[in-house]
Chains A and B, each alone.
Chain A
């Protein structure tokens, strides 16, 4: 539906300022905290994916400035609790699904290299806010009545309103390349780092150790310029 709408919009005369497109990617999320009080225990990074609608407002007179971009996105930020050493059979894989709104300023370096084609290096800097939608936990833990074996589990995560923070925010910084074969379409490939600046948990206890998602993404984006709306005079 989104693709069809975008294609229809791109089929007509274009406005030089608005760009709309799709951005998808894969990421690797690191849960940053301190676990040195837990032996044989570590948080490990996990892969996830993202998909969103990119909307960019470009200032044509500022060729170095790619504009302001917002990308309402569905994104996974996953991590794994892995017991190590003697306990390496036990783990918990956590999948967290967010709706995220990254907003960024885009800086460009480079320019046209053929008549209508351009190739830019891009630098995106900004921030994001996100809303936790759902989660899932899968893993294996100790079987209490039979210590030779383990209990598997695989179920939705139940949000704990005392502990879990639904709204989180953070920064973002990305570098990549942006290629335009003509004035209508823009393709970009970007590596983006999105550190969270808000603890995943609410401040619900004294001496709490914060936990942050640090996400490294590889993103592919296709955008097209929106048509100019003609007004009858």
Chain B
């Protein structure tokens, strides 16, 4: 009898352990994206899909169904392997990648195929293109960007007294930064004007050995802002495509004596599609000598005011003691930043071997109301340029957006 008891006892114990062991877990091993060489189209698809799946910032608010893309496009890429490698298969691969990502909301998204290729996008054929930038290409369909030199020329010759400017070139990136300042000669009010074509203010302020040094121009502008010796200021950020992140504080921090909340930022926190850090507050840091600027500020913006430029506009709108009005057009709508590097931020750009690169935001920006800025910042007073008004500007030298700003501040 005791023998049966012992057998029963051990049978129960062994049975329970066997039951537990049967619940074993499978954890597939993951691979660094950079480890893939891209030897065929299936591998290209795997890296492209996985890279976006893990590194993209906006999946929680995205309307593109990325799992559906997996199911639809994986067989298509696999089938390309069955055909001889040629320009045709490369173009097809490029086309599939463009089709998969054409509706992504991230305004920083760029797909680059290093060998170049042809693809169709919204009924146009883009032939021998290296880059696919859906947001920019859609914006260019509204109207082409007006060159900085056009605005500079018109403002300098038709609108400004005490005109001054500085030019700085970063020889690593070949990006040229220019700042123009002056006093508006039209209207009864004493209005300051500054035009900034991109945000390399701090970098150009610190630069030495520059032919047209921006430092005294910037210093003079900041002194005027600190003293508030004007009736208002027009900040011209049209066609400003962003720049260095430090400029949010360096520039907007001249207008306030105390920190001001203007938005939130979040990063990826892991490789899961929905792994995010909490949204963390972004505050303007007041700069040395800054006082609360009490005069009205008008920001001129257009459909090419993008990336960090939009953060600067949001930061201005975060100033609690200052009336800030945006005049012009709805901004580009970037919603994300490229900061630090893609390892530190757990997300952002990645390479597909030497075949292609996907560039995108590695930090997501939310406004004060915890909303993403996918469709751009709406102007408070809308004044748009179209082909006819651009022609008029070219013939008469009258900038209708700047005219509106002057009129607004003279009311």
A interface vs B, CB < 8 Å? 32-41, 64-65, 81, 83, 86-87, 90, 92, 105, 107, 123, 125-127, 137, 139, 141-142, 144-147, 151, 153, 155, 157-158, 160, 162-163, 170-171, 173, 195, 197, 201, 204-210, 212
- Bound-complex Cα distance A87 to B267 (A): 15
**Contacting A123 at CB < 8 Å: which of B13, B27, B49, B346?**
B13
- Bound-complex Cα distance A30 to B8 (A): 35
Which residue on chain B has the smallest CB distance to residue A127? B20
B interface vs A, CB < 8 Å? 5, 9, 12-13, 16-17, 20, 23, 25-33, 49-50, 53-54, 60, 66-67, 70-71, 245-246, 248-249, 265, 267, 269-274, 277-278, 280, 282, 285, 337, 339-340, 343-346, 363
**Contacting A209 at CB < 8 Å: which of B23, B27, B70, B363?**
B27
List of B residues within 8 angstroms of A162 by Cβ: 60, 274
Given contacts A34-B29, A142-B344, A144-B339, contact A201 B272 (CB under 8 A): yes
Given contacts A36-B30, A37-B32, A208-B272, contact A107 B67 (CB under 8 A): no
List of B residues within 8 angstroms of A157 by Cβ: 278
* Contact sample, A vs B, 23 pairs, CB 8 Å cutoff: A34-B28, A34-B30, A35-B30, A36-B31, A37-B271, A39-B343, A64-B5, A83-B344, A105-B12, A125-B13, A137-B277, A144-B245, A144-B339, A144-B363, A145-B246, A147-B339, A162-B60, A197-B25, A205-B274, A206-B53, A206-B71, A207-B50, A210-B25
- Bound-complex Cα distance A144 to B235 (A): 24
| Nearest CB of chain B from residue A201's CB, rounded to whole Å | 7
Contact A151 B340 (CB under 8 A): no
| Nearest CB of chain A from residue B201's CB, rounded to whole Å | 13
**Contacting A210 at CB < 8 Å: which of B13, B27, B249?**
B27
Given contacts A39-B343, A155-B278, 7 further A-B contacts (CB under 8 A): A32-B25, A145-B245, A160-B60, A173-B17, A204-B273, A206-B53, A209-B271
List of B residues within 8 angstroms of A205 by Cβ: 53, 66-67, 272-274
| Nearest CB of chain B from residue A77's CB, rounded to whole Å | 16
| Nearest CB of chain B from residue A165's CB, rounded to whole Å | 12
- Bound-complex Cα distance A79 to B273 (A): 19
Given contacts A142-B340, A209-B27, contact A204 B274 (CB under 8 A): yes
Given contacts A105-B16, A126-B16, A141-B277, contact A206 B70 (CB under 8 A): yes
**Contacting B269 at CB < 8 Å: which of A32, A92, A144, A197?**
A92
List of A residues within 8 angstroms of B265 by Cβ: 144, 151
List of B residues within 8 angstroms of A201 by Cβ: 272
Which residue on chain B has the smallest CB distance to residue A169? B23
- Bound-complex Cα distance A7 to B32 (A): 58
| Nearest CB of chain A from residue B250's CB, rounded to whole Å | 9
